[in-house]
Amino acid sequence: MEQSAPASNAIVLRPSVEQSNIAALRDAYAKMQALKAADNRSWIYWAEYHGFDRYDCWHHAGTGPPPGRDYPYDLFLPWHRAYLQYFEHVVRDQNAEAIPPWWDWTSAASHAEGIPKAYEESEVDGAPNPLAGGPMPKIPKEDVERTTRSHGAPAELPKLSSPTPESEGEPLPSVESLLALTSYVDFSRQLQNIHDAVHGWVGGQMGVIATAAFDPIFWAHHTMIDRLWYQWQLLHGVNNIPPNYSEKVLAPFGLTVEQVLDVRALGYDYASSSASATPVPAVAAQAASAS
Amino acid sequence: MANLVTSAPIPTASLDAEFTRADIEFHGLDHSGATYEGRVFLNRADASEQTPRDVPEYAGSYFVFGHGGCLGDPGHCDATPRRFYDPRSAHPLTPIVKVVIATAALRRAKAGSDQLTVTVVPVLLATNKAVGEPQDLVLYEQVRIVTYR
């Protein structure tokens, strides 16, 4: 058995795509994509938790057990946080420097160019870019071996702010207006609407639940969604969630909702960006100044 | 182009006169198929994909991230209700709720007419071979106007 280097137990700062170690990320993703599907370190194995053929994911408000058993609840944000945490460690096993980044689709660069270039180049050093597409399992009625995209116009991506209240004339409220919502359920519903819009904007396999997670941009999109929830928590309270959510188990990950509320307890935090500055919690600021 | 859906008229007199926020809620919305934008117009039953979003009747959009059709055997995607003691969460295709915050548009509609209709113009964003391009993208059980002071 090969002896591996000791794992880092430090809290990681999840970077933006622009700040991330793209070479390390490509290396880790390429290694995962080369593994056979049944290997529990493989790209397909982890993507299948979300869609075909396991469908463990949570989406949309209003779902839950039958009336009388519990109040309706929606585990969209907590479930994806747990999913991302597991995925991140699987990625880091392949390359210790690879931290899945967030794609800020509100940034000026995204509104000019759309998907980040690092995720768009079809080839890198003569090989398929593992950030541009991922392998697909055999799916009924689908005959593609790697994911593709058919994205919309960059200007159609969600906006950080709006010159008018409620983003009049816009299809979506601005991200800033969402962050001002004080109810978790309200915020989660509206953020999920933006999330849905970006999936549709990217198109291709990313455009439907069954196949979205096979596309590498899925992970950058969901890390952005998780980061926005984190930003909302900084404004409105880390534990600000309906009480009946707390003990819900995020299957199959074995974590409860309560256990995923504090990102630092999960071993990560978010680096800020110039496009949309992230409020840095005091404890993170101390860690940064000490390093 | 997929079919648009227009609600029955809703009397505006029943809406609170002093609301500070007003939402259009779609309950029992189907999300089993393709991914689409539902453009919501008030008192504009002749709206289409070509109707610009800057008209005063445009209230906002909701987006549905579609499941992508049924890739299992027959019955796999039947959203049967769970039994009381069933520990599983609801079937993934249980119909959903979407909420469009539309305070200004509802204020205009209330001021301009004693009734309003809600028209949804679906714009297909993403699909797959299992779903194709269905005509009936917008399927919901109920639309509600909810106001807050």
d(CA B149, CA A190) in angstroms, rounded, equals 19
Report whether the peptide linkage leading into residue A165 is cis, meaning its omega lies within 30 degrees of zero. Answer: no
Mean pLDDT, range A91-109, rounded to an integer: 97
- By C-alpha distance, which of B33, B41, B35, B42 is closest to B63? B35
Mean pLDDT of A255-268: 97
**Cα distance between residue A60 and residue B93, in whole Å:** 10
Q: Which range, of A91-105, B42-56, B70-84, averages the lowest pLDDT?
A: B70-84
Q: How far apart are CA B65 and CA A80, in angstroms?
A: 15
pLDDT of the residue at A220: 98
Residue-level pLDDT at B101: 95
- Alpha carbons A133 and A145: distance in angstroms, whole number: 10
Rounded Cα–Cα distance for residues A214 and A137 (Å): 9
Q: Do B62 and A203 touch (CB under 8 A)?
A: no
Q: Which of A142, A170, A209 has its CB closest to that of B67?
A: A209
Q: What is the pLDDT of residue A12?
A: 96
Q: Are residues A208 and B125, on separate chains, in Cβ contact within 8 Å?
A: no
How many helices (H) and strands (E) would you count in chain B? Answer: 1, 9
d(CA A9, CA A60): 34
Q: Which amino acid would we find at residue A282?
A: A
Q: Is A183 on the interface with B (CB under 8 A)?
A: no
What tokens appear for B108 in the block?
Answer: 């205009």
Check CB contact under 8 Å for B104 and A211.
no
| Mean pLDDT score, A128-137 | 97
Global pTM value = 0.93
Residue of B nearest to A199 (CA): B65
- By the 8 A CB rule, do A199 and A215 touch? no
Number of H helices, E strands in chain A: 9, 6
Query: Which run of H or E residues covers position A179?
Result: helix A175-179
Res A70: pLDDT: 62
- Residue B32 amino acid letter: S
Whether residue A65 is predicted with pLDDT greater than 60 in this model: the reply is no
